[in-house]
Chain A
Amino acid sequence: MAIAIEKNYKEENDQWNIKLSGEMDINSSDEVKKELQDIIDQNIADIEIDCEELSYIDSTGIGVLIGILKKIKKSDKTIVLTNTKDNIKRLFNITGLDKIFIIE
């Protein structure tokens, strides 16, 4: 598969820790969407996504993240992307989405 998803809920800071490895594109974005939808069905909390092994994202992946963010934002929760590669940071910057996601 083009993407691997690890997930873990940290009760002490009420946060989902997700790690994405691979590419988030038209092939894999639905799978990520399903996993993220599952976790917010279980528990709406802040989501931290470790992007160290995420090598590629395009609008199909970004769209999934926007959709999830909209849902959790209603409960004042947010999405943080950590260890983000430069090419991906750039994409969030040119689309202005670095103002609505926290990118580290």
Chain B
Amino acid sequence: MKDKVSLSLPCKADYVTVARMTTSVIANKFNFDIEDIEDLKVAVSEACNNVVIHSNIDDFFNIDFFLNGKTFIIEVEDKGKGFDIQKYEGPDLENPSENGLGIYIIETLMDDVEIKTEKGNGTKIVMSKFLK
């Protein structure tokens, strides 16, 4: 039986803290070191921030935490408005903007990131970090 933790969170800013704290506890259980735990906390928070800010949903979104072999996987999924990922441009780090850093940060902190999204069809971000 695969150990999986599933959270269903209201799409509200207050609950991003709940997601972050839960991530910290689960990551600690899988013996990640403090630096990795901090990375995971930020990555999950960024994914949740994007749901709260962009998804346009007024109910719940889901986060699943599980191990796949030696990889810790976190999936953040909403049934919101999605976006056209072809049009996504990373941030211009030479001329930083106040917005648009979230996905870049997730991709930098995690070992692997997959974003499944489509306009009108929700968004799922699958983030992986290898166990040491």
**Chain A positions near chain B (C-beta within 8 angstroms):** 2, 23, 25-27, 56, 58-60, 62-64, 66-67, 86-87, 90-91, 94-97, 100
Contact = CB atoms under 8 A, between A and B. Distances in A.
Interface in B87-116: 91, 93-94, 96-99, 101-102, 104-105, 108-109
A27 B16 contact: yes
A25 B109 contact: no
A100 B41 CA distance: 24
B45 A95 contact: no
A62 B101 contact: yes
B57 to A, nearest CB: 16
B99 A63 contact: yes
B45 A25 contact: yes
B41 A56 contact: yes
Interface in B41-56: 41-42, 45-46, 48-49, 52-53
A-side binding surface: helix, strand, loop or mixed? helix
Given A27-B17, A64-B98, A95 B46 contact: no
A26 B49 contact: yes
Contacts of A87: 35, 38
Given A63-B101, A100-B96, A91 B42 contact: yes
Contacts of B91: 95
A8 B35 CA distance: 33
A102 to B, nearest CB: 15
B84 interface: no
B14 interface: yes
Contacts of A90: 35, 38
B98 A26 contact: no
A86 B39 CA distance: 12
A56 B23 CA distance: 14
Given A26-B16, A63-B101, A87-B35, A58 B49 contact: yes
B13 interface: yes
A62 B98 CA distance: 7
Contacts of A60: 49
Contacts of A63: 97-99, 101
